[in-house]
A and B are shown apart, each in its own frame.
Chain A
Amino acid sequence: MKLNRRTLLASGATAATLAVLGVPVRAQDAPLKVGFIYVGPVGDGGWTFQHDQGRLAAQEHFGDAIETIFQESVPEGADAERAITQMVLSGCQLIFTTSFGFMDPTANVAAQFPDVKFEHATGYKTAPNLATYDARFYEGRAVIGTIAGRMTQTNKIGYIGSFPIPEVIQGINSSFIHARKVNPDVEMVVIWAYTWFDPAKEADAAKAMIEQGVDVILQHTDSTAPQAAAQEAGNVFTFGQASDMAAFKPTPRISSIIDNWGPYYIQRIQAALDGTWESQSFWGGIGEGEVLIGEITEAVPAEVKAEAEALAAAIGDKSYHPFTGPLNRQDGTPWLAEGQVATDEELKGLNFYVEGITGEIPA
């Protein structure tokens, strides 16, 4: 588009115009302004809390060289696009949008402001100024799945699913595969809560599982309600999710899978400061420090603890991939041959259970 006074007036005050007129250019020594869009409140103790911990880690690392701002509880949809645009207008040069539902709004705003850098968590749309990042939570699930398989007395472990999306299905498959590996008799009960955070629903799911004889519960939802339900029932073990949930140590919480975004945020902000930032699709796991295994408590026998730690180390140095064949799909058809490893593309679109899991993925 030819930009002169006339076309500017003709296009009115669209964002494209603002991109030319309104966005302040960073002075040489002014701090880099970095924005974060959160889907929940920073006090949720889970997903958003961990992203905010990452922001704080970056702020502490860079000190006066950067300024960070955030907006919490941003609904996914129309409001997100406005919130992101307002961050651009207020001078942010790098913006992290931290929930899947922000994908289209982020892509729309990124298209309007080619000089601003965007990073969208857990999505799949990229552009020259739009990168994506995600964590290989399934690596952590393999470790806690191993502990679960060893710890269960009833040979029934439970998994509270949030939504039937590839990330969660990866987690269910990964924990089941590794529980079975150490305990061939183990069975898995999956309950879909259709929420990321709802203490009442999560407690109901946990109680229903306990009534069915489940004695180890894994969760893909962020509240501590399942931990509380397990504590009440006694003799039921759980794992912290997203954050450490250390308040429930040493039992029922016997370990945890922690989202650790700080290293990634520091690395990317550094790249933006150095002028070396480039669009990419980053998917880090235990090896990159993005997924941490929280303290394994004394309720877990030492040999099980050692086994779990060895597995985490092998995943971390990439000598072992949690999805290594031979693996069959739930219906018995072969998926991965002996020694074959699942590709990232396969995992990112994963929509089936592996052999041995009962029940259907709702669709």
Chain B
Amino acid sequence: MIILEKRPNPSRAWALATPVLAVLATMIVGGLLFAMLGKDPVLTIRTIFWDPLFGPFGSYTRPQLLIKAGPLILIATGLSFGFRAGIWNIGAEGQYILGALTGAAAGLALYPSESRLIFPLMVAAGALGGMAWALIPALLKVRFGTNEILVSLMLVYVATNLLAYAALGPLQNPEGMGFPGSRNLSQWPSSANLELLTGTGLHWGVVAAGVAVVGAYVLLARHAFGFAVRLAGQAPRAAAFAGVSPSRLVLACMAISGGLAGLAGVFEVTGPAGQIGIDFGVGYGFTAIIVAFLGRLHPLGILLAGLLMALTYIGGEMAQTQLGLPGAAVQLFQGMLLFFLLAMDVLTQFRLRWKGASPVIVATAKPVEGAR
């Protein structure tokens, strides 16, 4: 039987190298998978990782990378605070949906008036909506000791049903022939979140993602709150002695992650998605969890990881249309990325040992940060 034994001093070099190794391992195993599906593995990997950047239609796909990565980075940055402090908000998808709903509702209440203030109002409403949704599991945890993983996850399903209700009820487009879905917010000048510079893909959501990354970096490196977050994650007892209130930390981390997820939702619904529809939630909130860990919960890492994840999405689509790769193979490929990352994380923190091979006392395997 194999036992995991905690390494006394996990190598820092390995910790930094694992994301790169995980990507390489994904390419190799993914390549084998593609070969088994009868596709040229080199060509497929090239289509996924190279063509979106430098392929013949790069001038179209490069801005698309930003559009796809924007919400991922924004949500993942918010999640990274809680994940560092051991507070597990798994329900960012629901907070993203609520942000879109409250933002859209605030705007549509004023339709069809024209004002420059409508868009900022919608953004504020979206952030508050996401925040409020995240504070439900936070308050339940603080007040009643419930598990925030379960509650935040379950609230995703509630949010999905609210979305369907809104798309068919209060937010339905009165001129939409009875079909589900709201008015198109990207076609209403007051709410449209369009490209700021033509041909760059840069919309307010991408700008917000950049600001969030810088803000998170400063907060974590230079601010007492960042210190409290890091301390609570690494040594909860020490944090308590240092005067960090666990309850306030839970509320703050959940509010930040919910607020940023809500922002991502409102920027998406006013821009690339354009309208509230039954299928508005396409899983950004869940993918952002992968992005957060792939980026080592570090703001700059998350920036790179978000772009990488966007690359696999857009490259994966190109592989589907150009090479006839099945959609499920692309999803499998993306899943492998997280699998390899977590597996390598475990191996940098622990070593494998055969039971009975050594009489040394074996430390009980505690889940590591990043592997829970």
Interface, chain A (partner B; CB < 8 A): 11-15, 18, 22, 35, 41, 69-73, 75-79, 81-83, 85-87, 89-90, 100-101, 104, 124, 163-166, 169, 194, 348-351, 362-363
| Also in contact, A12 and B181, with CB within 8 A (given A41-B327, A83-B317) | no
Contacts across chains A and B counted by CB atoms under 8 Å? 111
From B64, B177, B275, B279, A166 is in contact (CB under 8 Å) with: B177
| Interface mask (B312-329 → A, CB under 8 Å = 1, otherwise 0) | 001001101110101110
A162 to chain B, nearest CB (A): 10
Instruction: Determine the distance from Cα of A165 to Cα of B178 in the docked complex, in whole angstroms.
Output: 6
Q: Known contacts A22-B57, A194-B278; can you find 5 more A-B pairs with CB under 8 A?
A: A70-B321, A72-B327, A73-B327, A82-B67, A124-B177
Q: Is the CB of B328 within 8 A of A41?
A: yes
Q: Is the CB of B278 within 8 A of A163?
A: yes
Q: Is the CB of A165 within 8 A of B67?
A: no
| Interface mask (B57-71 → A, CB under 8 Å = 1, otherwise 0) | 101110110010000
Question: Is B198 among interface residues, defined by CB-CB distance under 8 A?
Answer: yes
Q: Is the CB of A76 within 8 A of B279?
A: yes
7 contacts between A and B (CB under 8 A): A13-B60, A69-B321, A70-B320, A76-B277, A77-B280, A79-B282, A82-B314
Q: Is the CB of A82 within 8 A of B317?
A: yes
Q: Is the CB of A77 within 8 A of B272?
A: yes
A126 to chain B, nearest CB (A): 13
Q: Is the CB of B199 within 8 A of A13?
A: yes
A302 to chain B, nearest CB (A): 40
Q: Is the CB of B324 within 8 A of A363?
A: no
Q: Is the CB of A86 within 8 A of B318?
A: yes
Q: Is the CB of A85 within 8 A of B60?
A: yes
Q: Is the CB of B272 within 8 A of A13?
A: no
Q: Is the CB of A163 within 8 A of B198?
A: no
Residues on B with C-beta less than 8 A from A75 are: 279, 282
From B56, B59, B279, B326, A101 is in contact (CB under 8 Å) with: B279
| Interface mask (B259-272 → A, CB under 8 Å = 1, otherwise 0) | 00000000010011
Residues on A with C-beta less than 8 A from B277 are: 76-77, 101
B321 to chain A, nearest CB (A): 5
Q: Is the CB of A165 within 8 A of B282?
A: no
| Also in contact, A165 and B180, with CB within 8 A (given A72-B327, A85-B60, A86-B321) | yes
Q: Is the CB of B60 within 8 A of A89?
A: yes
Q: Is the CB of A90 within 8 A of B273?
A: no
Q: Is the CB of A81 within 8 A of B272?
A: yes
Q: Is the CB of B60 within 8 A of A15?
A: yes
Q: Is the CB of A11 within 8 A of B199?
A: yes
Residues on B with C-beta less than 8 A from A72 are: 320, 326-327
Instruction: Determine the distance from Cα of A153 to Cα of B179 in the docked complex, in whole angstroms.
Output: 35
Q: Is the CB of A104 within 8 A of B184?
A: yes
Residues on B with C-beta less than 8 A from A73 are: 327
A353 to chain B, nearest CB (A): 13
Q: Is the CB of B60 within 8 A of A77?
A: no
Within 8 A of A (CB), among B291-327: 314, 317-318, 320-322, 324, 326-327
Residues on A with C-beta less than 8 A from B61 are: 86
Residues on A with C-beta less than 8 A from B326 are: 72
Q: Which residue on chain A has the smallest CB distance to residue B326?
A: A72
Residues on B with C-beta less than 8 A from A81 are: 272
Instruction: Determine the distance from Cα of A317 to Cα of B278 in the docked complex, in whole angstroms.
Output: 37
Q: Is the CB of A77 within 8 A of B279?
A: yes
A130 to chain B, nearest CB (A): 16
| Also in contact, A78 and B317, with CB within 8 A (given A41-B328, A89-B60) | no
Instruction: Determine the distance from Cα of A350 to Cα of B177 in the docked complex, in whole angstroms.
Output: 8
Residues on B with C-beta less than 8 A from A22 are: 56-57, 60
Q: Is the CB of A82 within 8 A of B57?
A: no
Q: Is the CB of A104 within 8 A of B274?
A: yes
B158 to chain A, nearest CB (A): 13
| Also in contact, A71 and B169, with CB within 8 A (given A104-B274, A350-B178) | no
Q: Is the CB of B274 within 8 A of A163?
A: no
Residues on B with C-beta less than 8 A from A18 are: 57, 59-60
Q: Considering residues B57, B60, B169, which has the most beta carbons from chain A within 10 angstroms of its beta carbon?
A: B60
Residues on A with C-beta less than 8 A from B180 are: 163, 165
B154 to chain A, nearest CB (A): 16
Residues on B with C-beta less than 8 A from A349 are: 177-178
Instruction: Determine the distance from Cα of A70 to Cα of B60 in the docked complex, in whole angstroms.
Output: 20
Q: Is the CB of B321 within 8 A of A163?
A: no
| Also in contact, A71 and B60, with CB within 8 A (given A41-B327, A77-B279) | no
Q: Considering residues B280, B321, B326, which has the most beta carbons from chain A within 10 angstroms of its beta carbon?
A: B321
Instruction: Determine the distance from Cα of A104 to Cα of B273 in the docked complex, in whole angstroms.
Output: 10
Instruction: Determine the distance from Cα of A148 to Cα of B187 in the docked complex, in whole angstroms.
Output: 45
Residues on B with C-beta less than 8 A from A70 are: 320-321
Within 8 A of A (CB), among B64-84: 64, 67
| Interface mask (B122-141 → A, CB under 8 Å = 1, otherwise 0) | 00000000000000000000
Q: Is the CB of B322 within 8 A of A90?
A: yes
Instruction: Determine the distance from Cα of A71 to Cα of B198 in the docked complex, in whole angstroms.
Output: 27
Instruction: Determine the distance from Cα of A194 to Cα of B177 in the docked complex, in whole angstroms.
Output: 18
Instruction: Determine the distance from Cα of A184 to Cα of B90 in the docked complex, in whole angstroms.
Output: 53
Instruction: Determine the distance from Cα of A79 to Cα of B287 in the docked complex, in whole angstroms.
Output: 15
Q: Considering residues A11, A76, A86, which has the most beta carbons from chain B within 10 angstroms of its beta carbon?
A: A86
| Also in contact, A14 and B178, with CB within 8 A (given A82-B314, A104-B275) | no
Question: Is B168 among interface residues, defined by CB-CB distance under 8 A?
Answer: yes
